[in-house]
């Protein structure tokens, strides 16, 4: 009888250990999957997440006949921030842009950090007035954050945007390229004004 109980306890212990190992393995796999598509600094989608899910977001909206605005957003003077004040300040600025985008965008927007200081945001197209308000809100959020934290220089961004056409088969990459060009025009104009 004791041997039987001992054997049963042994089987139960082994089953519990195996269950724990499977749970731990599942947790680690979930964590790796999340890290694979999310940016470690901001928690936003990273370039891999953008490539994996961004097009799906666009296609889903287009299937419903909805226009999407594709924004290309660039943090101004990140190299200068890193060089003059250190990478901790650069990371702070990168995170501040991410949080401002999350707070100001429409619910359900798709946001990714695709490079060091570059972000892509996709959301259902707003009317012209709300569109301008959205851009102003992000800039105000950053300005307020810099002032509240006594950041050593202004936190500013350059934004380019294009509206997609649900009846065309243009790729997300093409829309992002056009938005990037518009962002670059704004950045060049800012540099010219600073001189």
pLDDT digits (tens, 9 = 90+) for 92-132: 999 999 999 999 999 999 999 999 999 999 999 988 899 99
Reference 186, options 75, 101, 94, 109; nearest CA is 75
Whether pTM > 0.85 for this model: the answer is no
Rounded to an integer, what distance in angstroms lies between the CA atom of residue 181 and that of residue 52?
23
Report the alpha-carbon distance of residue 11 to residue 151 in Å, rounded: 61
* Residues 36-84: tens digit of each pLDDT: 789 999 999 999 999 999 999 999 999 999 999 999 999 999 999 999 9
Angle at 72 between CA 128 and CA 152, to 5 degrees: 105
Among 46, 24, 22, 25, which residue's Cα sits nearest to residue 34? 46
Over range 32-38, report the average pLDDT. Answer: 69
| Residue 77 near residue 94 (C-beta atoms within 8 A) | no
Q: Please say if the pLDDT value at position 159 is more than 60.
A: yes
- Give me the mean pLDDT over the 166-173 stretch: 92
How high is the pLDDT of residue 139?
97
Tokens of 160: 């380019």
């Amino acid at each position: 009888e004791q041997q039987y109980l001992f054997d049963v306890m042994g089987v139960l212990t082994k089953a519990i250990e195996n269950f724990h190992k499977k749970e731990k393995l599942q947790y680690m796999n979930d964590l790796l999957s999340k890290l694979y598509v999310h940016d470690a600094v901001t928690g936003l989608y990273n370039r891999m997440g953008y490539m994996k899910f961004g097009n799906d977001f666009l296609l889903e909206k287009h299937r419903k006949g909805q226009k999407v605005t594709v924004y290309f957003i660039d943090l101004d003077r990140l190299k200068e921030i890193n060089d003059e004040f250190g990478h901790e300040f650069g990371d702070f600025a990168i995170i501040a842009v991410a949080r401002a985008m999350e707070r100001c965008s429409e619910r359900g927007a798709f946001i990714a950090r695709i490079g060091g200081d570059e972000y892509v945001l996709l959301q259902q197209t707003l009317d012209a007035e709300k569109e301008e308000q959205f851009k102003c809100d992000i800039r105000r959020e950053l300005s307020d954050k810099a002032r509240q934290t006594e950041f050593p220089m202004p936190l500013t961004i350059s934004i380019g945007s294009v509206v997609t056409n649900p009846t065309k088969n243009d790729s997300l990459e093409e829309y992002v390229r056009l938005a990037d060009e518009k962002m670059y025009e704004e950045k060049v104009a800012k540099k010219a004004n600073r001189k």
